[in-house]
Structure 1
Amino acid sequence: MRIGLLETGEPPGDLLDIYGSYSSMFEALLGPGYAYRVYDVQKGELPADPAENDAYIVTGSAAGVYDPLPWIAPLKAFLRQARGETPLVGVCFGHQIMAEAFGGKVVKSDKGWGVGLHAYEVAAQAPWMDAARQVAVPASHQDQVVALPPGARVLAGSAFTPYGVLAYDDAKAISMQFHPEFSPAYAKALIEARRGSRFTDEQADAAIASLSGPNDRERMAAWIARFLAQETQG
């Protein structure tokens, strides 16, 4: 299976050299059983046609979907073009841009930053999921989806992030607000890099402590893999 990685951001500062790019994190998460192609969306790189790959993953980004950046509108247009034709997976910013492209709304939440290990309660089960009733995965976001697009349904969420995992059954698409591609080590390093600027010491300490708990990154990797297999074989 050919997976196009639509890379919309990169780790800040020296974290890129230490932990690798967001696309490489997805390659590590999903494993070597795929052929990957990376598109630097911030530099204007997008597939000429959705058929270039069998599926696409949209990564996280420090940008907001509402920012006046020249690459935002073309990415939305590509997602609308691919909708229903090529399986799509969106993570964090990818979750948000997919919701916006399909008719939902994203804002900078007045709840503030969601950071550390976040647990979502499973509200509905799709065929590619297992019987887990809760999933805990590293998160790092301030923006949130606040209005669902037409055709979207909530698979999992929390009081802090009600629209945590979405499925678009008619669009061959799923998305999630948390970051299964983030290892706990990278998630902790990212918090430290933002300590005192985006997070207070108290917030940073609590988030870092939470990341020592068990997480469901491998479960989410299996869910994504089964979703991609289901949609590309269908």
Structure 2
Amino acid sequence: MASLPLRIAVLECDTPQPGTRSKYGGYGGVFTSFLKSGADALHYPGLTSSSGLHITSYNVVDDPSNYPSLASIDAILITGSRHDSFSSSPWILKLLSFTEQVLRQRRVRVIGVCFGHQIVGRAMGARLGRNARGWEASVTPMDLTKRGQEIFGQNTLAIHQMHRDIMFAYPEGVEPLAYTDKCAVQGMYAPKRLIAIQGHPEFNEEIVRELLLVRHAAKVFDDEVFEDAMGRVDKYQDGVVVAKAFLKFLLE
């Protein structure tokens, strides 16, 4: 079992939209708020929103030399990104190499979210690419495997999504957690080693609404995708459930 405080390095792989940035700063701030909400809901001795967490952020896009020392942390959390996880951009290859390094050892654990989920899969040999079935966006219900039900403590899960890239199949050595009709690889787990999820449990209605409006204006989303996603943006979502699961994974 890990000791407190949990030292988590957030590897920021993108910059939020202006409204989100003004409220949270970078995605490190978004994940800090997310993990603190999970800490308060978990009721673990010594772990609350005000104690037991030490979260640092590293912008690995603009400063690809800016990575934490593994000796100084207990976990890395790789965020989402608008960039392609299967790209050969230098900063992505550096991130991939660092992720492989972390996966080769057994003390520092790995959490991946959306783009981060795909990077973890790529580091383990999974094939990535565009989903021929298009975007998943906004609050989306997911079916859980038996292992997923155990980890999240419920039979189904609903969280925000914002992706059209996918992992085509699970890499070796992980347990599948979740799936949807559009994307079969929604989450994966290896005890005391990694947990990764394709959706965005850290997002809330405000963050996703801003993203939808920006991407519709830029014609990334056509009217049909935009209107469908906006129709679900205010639905209930299980972000805190996933935050609790992430923290329980770090404590196991």
Deviations 1:72-130 (A, max 9, x none): 12211111111133111000000000000111111011111111111111112269724
Please say if residues 147 and 175 of structure 2, whose CA atoms lie closer than 8 Å, have aligned partners that are also in contact: no
Measured in 2, the distance between the counterparts of 1:48 and 1:193 equals 32
Measured in 2, the distance between the counterparts of 1:15 and 1:198 equals 19
Q: 1:15 to 1:27 in 2, by over 3 A?
A: closer
Structure 2 residue 35 is matched with structure 1 residue 30: yes
Q: 1:48 to 1:140 in 2, by over 3 A?
A: closer
Partner-residue secondary structure (3-state), 1:27: helix
Measured in 1, the distance between the counterparts of 2:209 and 2:161 equals 11
In structure 2, which of residues 94, 97, 100 is the aligned counterpart of residue 74 of structure 1?
94
Equivalent residue, structure 1, for 2:244: 222
Partner-residue secondary structure (3-state), 1:129: helix
Deviations 1:179-222 (A, max 9, x none): 01111111111001111411112221211111221110111111
Measured in 2, the distance between the counterparts of 1:228 and 1:110 equals 34
- For normalisation by structure 1, the TM-score amounts to 0.91
Partner-residue secondary structure (3-state), 1:116: strand
Equivalent residue, structure 2, for 1:39: 58
Measured in 1, the distance between the counterparts of 2:241 and 2:127 equals 28
Deviations 1:28-47 (A, max 9, x none): 01113411111111121443
Equivalent residue, structure 1, for 2:230: 208
Deviation at 1:12, TM superposition (A): 3.5
Residue segments in structure 2 that go unaligned for 5+ positions in a row? 1-5, 37-48
Equivalent residue, structure 2, for 1:116: 138
Equivalent residue, structure 2, for 1:20: 25
Equivalent residue, structure 1, for 2:43: none
Equivalent runs, 1:1-234 vs 2, <5 Å: 1-13=6-18, 15-18=20-23, 20-31=25-36, 32=49, 33-42=52-61, 43-47=63-67, 49-83=69-103, 84-125=106-147, 129-169=151-191, 172-196=193-217, 197-230=219-252
Measured in 1, the distance between the counterparts of 2:245 and 2:68 equals 28
Q: 1:227 to 1:41 in 2, by over 3 A?
A: same
Measured in 1, the distance between the counterparts of 2:163 and 2:9 equals 24
Q: 1:28 to 1:18 in 2, by over 3 A?
A: closer
Q: 1:99 to 1:67 in 2, by over 3 A?
A: same
Measured in 1, the distance between the counterparts of 2:68 and 2:177 equals 31
- Aligned-residue identity in percent: 27
Task: Please identify runs of 4+ aligned residues in structure 1 that moved more than 4 A.
Answer: none
Once the two structures are overlaid, the 10-residue window that deviates more, 176-185 or 70-79, is 70-79
Q: 1:142 to 1:51 in 2, by over 3 A?
A: same
Measured in 2, the distance between the counterparts of 1:128 and 1:108 equals 30
Measured in 1, the distance between the counterparts of 2:155 and 2:149 equals 14
Measured in 2, the distance between the counterparts of 1:26 and 1:118 equals 20
Measured in 1, the distance between the counterparts of 2:245 and 2:190 equals 15
Measured in 2, the distance between the counterparts of 1:24 and 1:130 equals 24
Give the residue type in structure 2 aligned to 1:148: Y
Would you say how many aligned residue pairs link Structure 1 and Structure 2?
229
Measured in 2, the distance between the counterparts of 1:182 and 1:66 equals 23
Q: 1:25 to 1:13 in 2, by over 3 A?
A: closer
